[in-house]
Homo-oligomer: A and B are copies of this chain.
Amino acid sequence: MHPIGRVRSPFTDTTQIPKGPGAKHDTEGDLEINPELEPGLTSIEGFSHLFVIWAFHRSESYELLGTPPTDDRPHGVFATRSPRRPNPIGLTVVQLLHRDGHTLRVRGLDMLDGTPILDIKPYLSSIPEAQLRRGWLDEAEARRRAAAPPID
């Protein structure tokens, strides 16, 4: 695996990245693809959203069970987006704003500046909301809402 490019984002420290319930991922930045790979971006402008597959390059070990920031109980690493994974691979869906040569301007970044990009793929289809269940995350969010109901 070799990086095909790097993320240019405003985040220089993981504490700056929004996490947890209600976190907004509308941060803009660039996917700087290696210039020699630019032909591989042909036609990409037609897609509104992209999958970005990247490396947690600062992650040095993994844990199979961990407590995510969104909950107070432990879950398996494959049921979370924890960076401490057996293979330190990250996956983010971004909105493609425009392309300038070998640089893609995108919205929705949650990676550190300098993150190595491994692959980019078009986002082709969605699971209808009525069919989607989000397991412990829905439950954790419901518990939080019950513990602190919104004030009108």
Contact = CB atoms under 8 A, between A and B. Distances in A.
Interface residues of A, number: 55
Q: Is the interface of A mostly helix, strand, loop or mixed?
A: mixed
Interface stretch (A8-16, A75-83, A144-152): A75-83
Interface in A7-44: 33, 37, 39-44
Copies of this chain present: 2
Nearest to A62: B40
Contacts of A122: 78-81, 134-135, 137
Contact of A43 (B39, B42, B136): B136
Interface in A94-150: 118-129, 131-139
A74 B41 CA distance: 11
Given A39-B65, A40-B76, A76-B43, A127 B124 contact: no
Contact of A121 (B33, B41, B91): B91
